Every structure is written in structure tokens, then in C-alpha cells.
């Protein structure tokens, strides 16, 4: 009987682990679609009035048109003339608007066009000896200098911003999540970092 209960429990939990993420993903996409359709509602109403399509199809058509426009703009800015106009538009108009640069950086990171400043894990030497500290590379200046954030455990939101010569910064092939877990655990579970360091040095 005990084995049967354990079987039912583990099987049910396994099913929940498969079904729940799928449901949550559906909910997120549904919420996102509704937010987008709310934003484009005036255009949808125009399409419905002109073509007598139902609202869902009109929403799809409008989204398709917007994506097509984005594609065309993307093609244009790949040319020298397009880049010239883009740079002038940003330098003289958009960059003056408060918050534009922050929004642009956020969008570029979300779309994967710019590397997240906390995605590169490194071990750094700041004392001039063999001691190593876990850090995240936040900026780079050519091949000579790097800026890193060294989080403090168990709270990784606090730490130190340090500017170091590049030869004291050793990027390692470890995910940011693995590094953060070791910081939160005050160093417990750092084996992956040390093993990656062994392949780097």
C-alpha cells in the first residue's frame, strides 16, 4: 500500500510538472495577446470597418502589418543611408527624450541583440595573490580593462563594482544561475565554478 501511495504521489507530481508550465505559458501568451490587441484596437476597428472581418482575424492582420513594417524598417537601416538617418534621428531627437536610452537597452537585451551585463561569469583576482572571487562582467573597454560586479553572499543584490586590468579577469563557462546559487549559499556549491576555472587556467 505504501508503494502504491508513493507511486500515485510521484506520478501526480510528475504530471503537474509537465502540465503546469504549459498552462502558465498559455496564460502568459493570452495576457500578452490581450495587451497587444488593446494597444492596436484603433487600427483593428479601422480594418473591421473597411473589410468586415471578425475582430480576431482583424487583430491578426494588423499584427502582421506591423511586423511587415518592422521588417521593412529593418531592411532599410541595414543600408548606409538607413543607418545615417537612424543615427541622426537618435542623436538629435530620440536621445533627448527622457528614458529613451534605458528603454532601448532593455528592448535590445530582451531581443537578445545585446549581451546582458550579468550573463558573463568570471573569477577575478583583486588582491594581487592567488585568491579568486566570483564576479559578473558588466562592461569592457577594449582588451585592456573590464568592470566587474562582485556580489556579496547571501544577498547578491549588494556588492562591489571593481575596475580591473583584463589579465586579472578570468571568464568561465558557467551560467549566471549557477554562480548566483553559490553566492546565495555563501560559497556552497561552488564546485562547478572551480572545475570551470581549472579548464580556464
**pLDDT tens-digit profile of 69-87?**
989 988 988 888 888 888 8
Residue 20 lies in a domain: no
Residue 64 lies in a domain: no
The pLDDT score that the predictor gives to residue 148 is 93
Residue 132 lies in a domain: yes
Per DSSP, the residues of 149-201 read: EEE-SS-TTSEEEEEEEGGGEEE-S--HHHHHHHHHTTTTTTHHHHHHHHHH-
The string of pLDDT tens digits covering residues 136-148 is 998 887 778 999 9
- Total number of domains constituting the chain: 1
Please report, for the domain that includes residue 127, its CATH number. Answer: 2.30.30
Residue 83 lies in a domain: no
Residue 161 lies in a domain: yes
The string of pLDDT tens digits covering residues 152-165 is 888 888 899 999 99
The pLDDT score that the predictor gives to residue 85 is 85
Residue 150 lies in a domain: yes
Q: Which residue has the cell 566587474?
A: 148
Residue pair 105/163 in contact by the 8 Å Cβ criterion: no
Residue 143 lies in a domain: yes
> What are φ and ψ of residue 18, in 5° steps?
-85, -45
pLDDT higher for 50 or 133?
Answer: 133
**pLDDT(13) > 70:** yes
Listed in sequence order, the residues at least 6 apart from 48 whose beta carbon sits closer than 8 Å to its beta carbon are: 54, 55, 58
Picking from 167, 134, 172, 173, the residue whose alpha carbon sits closest to that of residue 150 is 134
Residue 92 lies in a domain: no
Parent domain of 131? 121-200
Amino acid at each position: 500500500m505504501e508503494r502504491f501511495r508513493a507511486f500515485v504521489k510521484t506520478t501526480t507530481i510528475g504530471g503537474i510538472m509537465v502540465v503546469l508550465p504549459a498552462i502558465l505559458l498559455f496564460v502568459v501568451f493570452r495576457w500578452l495577446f490581450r495587451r497587444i490587441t488593446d494597444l492596436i484596437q484603433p487600427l483593428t476597428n479601422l480594418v473591421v470597418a473597411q473589410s468586415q472581418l471578425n475582430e480576431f482575424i482583424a487583430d491578426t492582420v494588423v499584427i502582421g502589418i506591423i511586423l511587415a513594417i518592422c521588417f521593412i524598417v529593418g531592411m532599410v537601416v541595414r543600408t548606409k543611408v538607413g543607418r545615417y538617418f537612424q543615427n541622426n534621428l537618435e542623436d538629435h531627437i530620440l536621445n533627448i527624450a527622457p528614458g529613451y536610452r534605458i528603454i532601448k537597452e532593455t528592448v535590445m537585451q530582451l531581443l537578445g541583440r545585446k549581451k546582458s551585463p550579468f550573463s558573463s561569469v568570471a573569477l577575478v583576482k583583486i588582491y594581487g595573490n592567488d585568491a579568486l572571487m566570483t564576479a559578473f562582467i558588466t562592461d569592457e573597454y577594449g582588451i585592456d580593462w573590464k568592470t566587474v560586479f562582485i556580489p556579496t553572499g547571501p544577498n547578491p543584490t549588494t556588492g562591489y563594482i571593481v575596475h580591473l586590468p583584463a589579465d586579472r579577469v578570468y571568464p568561465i563557462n558557467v551560467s549566471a544561475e549557477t554562480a548566483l546559487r553559490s553566492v546565495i549559499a555563501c560559497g556552497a556549491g561552488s564546485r562547478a565554478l572551480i572545475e570551470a576555472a581549472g579548464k580556464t587556467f
